[in-house]
Amino acid sequence: GWSVSMYMVHGGTNFGYMGGANIQDEQNAETGYLSLITSYDYSSPITESGDHGIGSDNLDKYAALRNLLLPYTHTAFSFSLSRSPLLPAPFPEPPPQPKVAYGRVRLSWRAGFWENLDALAPQITEASAPLPFETIGAAYGYVLYSTSLESMSSSSTNHVSLSLTHTHTHTIKSGADWYASTMTPPSLAESLPRLTSDPLTKSAPTPSPARHRTPTSTHVNITVDRVHDRAHLFLDHLLVGILERGGRSSRNFVTVPRECMEAATRLDVLVENLGRVNFGPHLADRKGLLGNVRIGEHTVLGQWQMRPLNLEQFVHYSSLRATEQGEPKRG
């Protein structure tokens, strides 16, 4: 005899952050990394909502598949589908699920990430160097790695000279105004390369030419040895670059103006787990910062704080610091 298996016959979506990944080049787990979408629809004959799948030719894939297999089956159910007078009629197919178009939804309140960090990430692990997700009990989602730069200083030409005597405050806004801040000299926000998207979205911003400069007397590199899988780098809560495993570029550094580096007092690296490799020789797929972080040639060691973001558990709105938003801008 023989049998037929179909993958997938019915579409679905993984729960939460349970995403997977492949390694395109089995010899290189870094540049060959490819995260997978959490949907398992895969153009299946039965959609996630239970409807018949429609192909690119606008034909019913479920009906076509059933008609194809029906002549080769010999069960009571198949004979009932063929409406044999000797067997009862098949169970009726359930009606399609109703669909609702919600239209435009306006969010009238905004809760900022940094202002609500204690509520979103109450667990803190401290170490002298960054630790992977698994060591601090964070399987999925995000971990924020943070360290103070105030104690870092060096007169060596091979290190970053940090002069941290400036007092400054920042006001973080959304959208194109994310870089807006006030600072008593130098002006950190004006010196940073501008990025054309919000800091905490999955849409990677368009990199400015400064990100691809080699270090000079006016610029310095922030280097991450290995990141699994995507990292947003912040100086004093201002986004300065994004690093990602795999993808089009294998760069493991971002380049920032030296005056920004000298003025900064804090480095934050928000690392996202984009999905674990689910088959092949690279199943031991650790997540997080896997190695050291360097500023210039200086390895950042000392007191690192690691905070898993608690996004899968309910956080009551009353515990968040939120501000009311005005009408959305058009254009």
Q: Does the structure show a pLDDT above 80 at 172?
A: no
- Per-residue pLDDT tens over the stretch 2-34: 777 888 888 788 788 888 898 887 668 888 898
Query: Tokens standing for 322?
Result: 């939120």
Q: What is the pLDDT of residue 24?
A: 84
- Per-residue pLDDT tens over the stretch 37-57: 888 777 889 988 888 999 889
Residues forming beta bridges with residue 22, ordered by sequence position = 34
- At position 26, the amino acid (one-letter code) is E
Q: Does the structure show a pLDDT above 80 at 167?
A: no
Identify the band that residue 208 occupies on the pLDDT scale cut at 50, 70 and 90.
Answer: very low
**Strand 266-272 with 230-235, pairing:** antiparallel
Cα–Cα distance for residue pair 221/297, rounded to 1 Å: 9
Q: Region 126-139: what's the mean pLDDT?
A: 94
Q: Looking at the whole model, is its pTM more than 0.75?
A: no
What 8-state DSSP symbol labels residue 38?
S
- Per-residue pLDDT tens over the stretch 65-112: 888 887 776 655 555 455 555 555 566 788 888 889 999 988 888 889
Cα–Cα distance for residue pair 195/78, rounded to 1 Å: 59
Q: What is the pLDDT of residue 254?
A: 93
Specify the higher pLDDT residue, 152 or 268: 268
Q: Does the structure show a pLDDT above 60 at 193?
A: no
Cα–Cα distance for residue pair 271/267, rounded to 1 Å: 13
Q: Is the peptide bond before 88 cis (omega within 30 degrees of 0)?
A: no
Q: What is the pLDDT of residue 209?
A: 34
Cα–Cα distance for residue pair 274/230, rounded to 1 Å: 7
Q: Region 263-292: what's the mean pLDDT?
A: 92
Cα–Cα distance for residue pair 48/9, rounded to 1 Å: 10
List, in sequence order, every beta strand (DSSP E) within 142-212: 142-148, 168-169, 182-183
Q: Region 173-200: what's the mean pLDDT?
A: 33
